[in-house]
């Protein structure tokens, strides 16, 4: 396309450029036309172009995309500004003032849809002449009446998973279409009943309950859905005539997709009842087990208390019984010396011990009473629940050792547990046996060792609590004759009774070391140990 400027004898070309939207849409120009308003219209092989007011650029009105075809081979205008456009698929009427587009084809009476280039003319009587490959068409200037018919939509077939339904459609329309959850591939065929322009009829459908948007289709089409979830839906189909007039009354087909049994309300209610019932039975079972366990625990505690009372009575009898018997014996002897009567039958004597006096018997009674007092104090200490840790045992033995060696020439020192090991629990019997073992050992040191230094150390080694009593005396305890090893044998028996590991090392002239090991489950924490030194 080119324009001649006669005043300057200059041609101005107009060329299509893809990157420039203000240029011609295509370089192949079939026709040009100026409407009564002075606007120049250009028909190209790629749509209708309008020359802008600046006479330098072009625009393509967006509504012209509705033309029957974008290859416009001829153009003509009427005095009212209406443009007639001949295309390769019929003739279109375009009203620039309103943007309305009407398309006509062979279904409207044209001899052919293929128009000849440039073969379009409006006569002085406003008769439109249109040339096609099959002849000349005469189009009256009288207004073409609009199609006001509202076409109905008729269902022509329904198939599920590729299998057509045998049930009459009238029966389905009277009720609803019910589908199983495993047969959800639905196809509904329909036809739009527009007999005036059947080829240009349109349709649209939607499945309410799944998608609220409309889907456009041809006049005779199909609505296809797959993998529908369980639920209730409404298939709505509307039809439009050739002039685009939609029937607001849609054809409706209710669709019900039955859920699987495990998604039904009765199944869920049943499962809830089963769960609640199972939970209630499980709770009753646990409650019965708990009550039975409580009964067994109560019986075990009762038996344990009985055993503890029996063991306590036996221990107390073993500990202080002989001391009390000695007190009774010495009292009877004193009574005899005083002439108060014979010795009771409970204390038979063949003859009176020679050289004994009331003062000696009295001192022996006092010593026995002190022994009873000390043993009772030790026994009561082990029974107290608050003294069940290694720290309490350590404090008790250290206090006893300090008092025991206070008035002796022996120098006593100690090494204490780390704070992390003080809370280790020890049983009552274990604490009692350890106390008796080390009190016996300290007594032997004071009587026989001739030591100058004694140390008592508490420590942790791996999974064991270690208590070590060491002196620098004459040693040789291992070489003492068996008839004089009663004290050592008693210590070994006490250790075996409580599961303690007792080790005695006493080489001649090398002092004596007594080591007691107590197992525990918690790993010993390595921490600096505190010590205390006493020069008593």
Band of pLDDT at residue 316, cut at 50, 70 and 90: low
- Statement to judge: residues 259 and 269 lie in one domain: no
- Statement to judge: residues 161 and 95 lie in one domain: no
Number of domains in the chain: 4
In a domain, 144, yes or no: no
Range of the domain at 240: 152-263
> Is residue 308 predicted with pLDDT exceeding 60?
yes
* Predicted pLDDT of residue 321: 64
- Statement to judge: residues 74 and 156 lie in one domain: no
Distance CA 296, CA 292 (A): 6
> Is residue 351 predicted with pLDDT exceeding 70?
no
In a domain, 145, yes or no: no
194-208, 337-351, 389-403: which has the minimum mean pLDDT?
A: 337-351
Q: With pLDDT > 70 as the criterion, what percentage of the chain qualifies?
A: 86
- Statement to judge: residues 371 and 465 lie in one domain: no
Which three-class secondary structure state does DSSP give residue 172? helix
* Predicted pLDDT of residue 167: 61
The CATH number of the domain holding residue 432 is 3.30.565.10
- Statement to judge: residues 119 and 163 lie in one domain: no
* Predicted pLDDT of residue 364: 78
Higher pLDDT, 337 or 499: 499
Distance CA 251, CA 239 (A): 9
In a domain, 146, yes or no: no
pTM score above 0.75: no
Band of pLDDT at residue 466, cut at 50, 70 and 90: very high
Going by DSSP bridges, is the β-strand pair 512-519/531-534 parallel, antiparallel, or unpaired?
unpaired
**Sequence-ordered list of residues with C-beta below 8 angstroms from that of 313, at least 6 positions apart, any chain:** none
- Statement to judge: residues 395 and 530 lie in one domain: yes
* Predicted pLDDT of residue 263: 79
Which tens digit of pLDDT belongs to each residue from 473-532? 998 776 767 666 677 888 888 888 888 999 989 888 889 999 999 987 533 333 333 444
**Residue among 154, 230, 142, 160 nearest 191 (CA):** 154
Q: Do 129 and 138 meet the contact criterion of CB atoms below 8 Å apart?
A: yes
Higher pLDDT, 194 or 305: 194
* Predicted pLDDT of residue 356: 60
Which three-class secondary structure state does DSSP give residue 412? strand
- Statement to judge: residues 327 and 234 lie in one domain: no
**Residue among 368, 375, 365 nearest 316 (CA):** 375
* Predicted pLDDT of residue 50: 92
Burial class (CB in 10 A: 0-12, 13-18, 19+), 115: buried
* Predicted pLDDT of residue 2: 86
Which tens digit of pLDDT belongs to each residue from 147-196? 788 999 988 888 888 888 766 565 556 677 888 888 778 899 999 998 87
33-37, 80-84, 206-210, 262-266: which has the minimum mean pLDDT?
A: 262-266
76-90, 319-333, 428-442: which has the minimum mean pLDDT?
A: 319-333
- Statement to judge: residues 519 and 403 lie in one domain: yes
Distance CA 426, CA 94 (A): 107
How many residues are listed for the chain in this entry? 536
* Predicted pLDDT of residue 341: 52
Pure H helices in 185-337 = 265-337
Residue 503, both tokens: 């080790």
Residue-averaged pLDDT of the chain:
82
Q: Do 105 and 98 meet the contact criterion of CB atoms below 8 Å apart?
A: no
What separation in angstroms does the CA of 190 have from each of 200, 238, 252?
15, 10, 12
Which three-class secondary structure state does DSSP give residue 353? coil
* Predicted pLDDT of residue 531: 43
Please compute the mean of the pLDDT values over residues 431-444 and round it to a whole number: 87
44-58, 86-100, 188-202, 302-316: which has the minimum mean pLDDT?
A: 302-316
Which tens digit of pLDDT belongs to each residue from 3-30? 887 777 788 889 898 888 889 889 999 9
Crossing angle for the helix pair 358-383 and 428-444, nearest 10 degrees?
Answer: 150
- Statement to judge: residues 254 and 333 lie in one domain: no
Band of pLDDT at residue 340, cut at 50, 70 and 90: low
- Statement to judge: residues 81 and 122 lie in one domain: yes
Last residue of a domain, one of 263, 292, 326: 263
* Predicted pLDDT of residue 141: 67
- Statement to judge: residues 507 and 390 lie in one domain: yes
Last residue of a domain, one of 352, 381, 410: 381
* Predicted pLDDT of residue 9: 78
Distance CA 513, CA 496 (A): 19
């Amino acid at each position: 396309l080119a324009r001649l400027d006669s005043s300057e004898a200059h041609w101005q070309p107009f060329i299509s450029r893809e990157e420039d939207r203000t240029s011609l849409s295509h370089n192949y120009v079939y026709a040009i036309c100026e409407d009564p308003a002075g606007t120049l219209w250009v028909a190209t092989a790629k749509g209708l172009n309008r020359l802008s007011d600046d006479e330098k650029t072009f625009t393509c009105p967006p509504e012209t995309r509705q033309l029957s075809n974008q290859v416009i081979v001829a153009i003509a205008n009427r005095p009212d500004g209406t443009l007639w456009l001949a295309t390769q698929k019929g003739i279109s009427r375009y009203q620039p003032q309103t943007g309305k587009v009407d398309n006509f084809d062979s279904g409207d009476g044209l001899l052919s849809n293929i128009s000849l280039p440039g073969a379009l003319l409006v006569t002085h009587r406003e008769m439109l002449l249109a040339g096609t490959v099959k002849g000349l068409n005469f189009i009256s200037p009288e207004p073409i009446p609009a199609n006001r018919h509202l076409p109905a939509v008729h269902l022509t077939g329904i198939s599920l998973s590729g299998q057509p339904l045998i049930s009459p459609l009238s029966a389905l329309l009277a009720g609803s279409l019910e589908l199983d959850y495993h047969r959800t591939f639905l196809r509904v065929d329909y036809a739009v009943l527009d007999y005036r322009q059947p080829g240009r009829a349109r349709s649209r459908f939607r499945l309410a309950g799944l998608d609220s948007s409309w889907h456009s289709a041809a006049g005779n089409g199909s609505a296809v859905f797959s993998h529908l979830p369980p639920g209730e839906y409404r298939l709505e189909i509307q039809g439009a005539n050739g002039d685009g007039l939609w029937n607001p009354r849609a054809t409706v087909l209710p669709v019900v997709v039955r859920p699987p049994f495990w998604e039904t309300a009765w199944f869920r209610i049943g499962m809830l009842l089963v769960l609640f019932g199972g939970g209630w039975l499980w709770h009753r079972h646990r409650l019965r087990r708990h009550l039975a366990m409580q009964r067994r625990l109560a019986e075990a505690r009762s038996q344990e208390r009985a055993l503890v009372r029996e063991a306590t009575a036996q221990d107390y009898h073993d500990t202080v019984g002989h001391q009390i018997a000695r007190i009774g014996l010495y009292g009877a002897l004193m009574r005899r010396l005083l002439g108060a009567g014979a010795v009771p039958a409970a204390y038979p004597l063949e003859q009176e011990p020679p050289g004994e006096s009331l003062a000696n018997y009295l001192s022996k009674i006092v010593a026995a009473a002190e022994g009873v007092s000390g043993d009772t104090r030790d026994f009561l200490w082990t029974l107290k629940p608050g003294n069940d840790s290694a720290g309490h045992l350590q404090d008790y033995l250290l206090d006893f050792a300090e008092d025991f060696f206070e008035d002796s020439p022996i120098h006593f020192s100690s090494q204490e547990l780390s704070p992390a090991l003080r809370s280790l629990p020890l049983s009552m019997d274990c604490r009692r046996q350890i106390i008796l073992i080390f009190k016996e050992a300290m007594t032997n040191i004071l009587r026989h060792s001739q030591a100058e230094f004694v140390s008592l150390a508490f420590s942790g080694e791996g999974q064991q609590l270690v208590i070590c009593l060491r002196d620098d005396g004459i040693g040789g305890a291992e070489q003492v004759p068996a008839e004089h090893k009663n004290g050592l044998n008693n210590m070994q028996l006490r250790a075996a009774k409580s599961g303690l590991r007792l080790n005695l090392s006493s080489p001649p002239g090398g002092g004596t070391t007594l080591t007691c090991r107590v197992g525990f489950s918690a790993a010993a924490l390595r921490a600096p140990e505190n010590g205390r030194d006493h020069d008593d």
